[in-house]
Amino acid sequence: MENIEGVFLQKDTIKIIANEAIKHLPKEACGLIGAQRLSDGNINLVVFPVLNKSKKNNRFLISDQDILLIQKRCKSLGYSLCGCYHSHPKGRDIPSTKDILCASKSNLKVWAIYSVRLNRLSIYNMGAVPIKIEYRIE
């Protein structure tokens, strides 16, 4: 995601993530992120909630079937699958050691983390070193 002028989220996108996070407590909520580059060079992100397949409350797991399904849906809507989101019910909105390890093995490099405790969303480019991405709400 080089040469980004700006990353935009619709107000409803954050509401979707927050509502999913609260709905699935005490487990982590999760989903996938689609990106669409706009004509002005900015990027609009959308989210696609999925069911967390992990049996642990402090982990998330997205099935391969869900990834393929959302990838097709993204393509049909003009988006590219670029990342995932999940919640930290008790933690901060920063990548855990496990998040960084999982991201290093994934093709999905944009990770959004929502802290239920802090009611805050942060987005990261999860390259070799996670870099926080600033975003604006439209």
Q: pLDDT tens digits for 66-117?
A: 999 999 999 999 999 999 999 999 999 999 999 999 999 988 999 999 999 9
Any idea what the CATH number is for the domain that residue 91 is in?
3.40.140.10
Question: In this structure, what token pair is assigned to residue 138?
Answer: 């439209």
- Sign of the torsion angle spanned by Cα atoms 95, 97, 102, 105: positive
Separation of alpha carbons 131 and 125, rounded Å:
5
pTM of the model: 0.90
- Residue 56 CB neighbour total at 10 angstroms: 10
For the chain, how many structural domains are there in total?
1
63 domain residue, yes or no: yes
Question: In this structure, what token pair is assigned to residue 93?
Answer: 């909105």
| Residue partners of 118: CB distance under 8 A and separation at least 6 | 92, 93
- Using alpha carbons, list the distances in angstroms from residue 69 to 30, 61, 66, 84, 113: 15, 15, 5, 14, 22
109 domain residue, yes or no: yes
Angle at 85 between CA 95 and CA 117, to 5 degrees: 65
Separation of alpha carbons 73 and 23, rounded Å:
24
29 domain residue, yes or no: yes
1 domain residue, yes or no: no
89 domain residue, yes or no: yes
Residue 14 is part of which domain span? 7-137
| Residue whose structure tokens are 């989210």 | 47
Confidence at residue 5, expressed as pLDDT on a 0 to 100 scale: 54
Confidence at residue 40, expressed as pLDDT on a 0 to 100 scale: 84
Confidence at residue 74, expressed as pLDDT on a 0 to 100 scale: 96
2 domain residue, yes or no: no
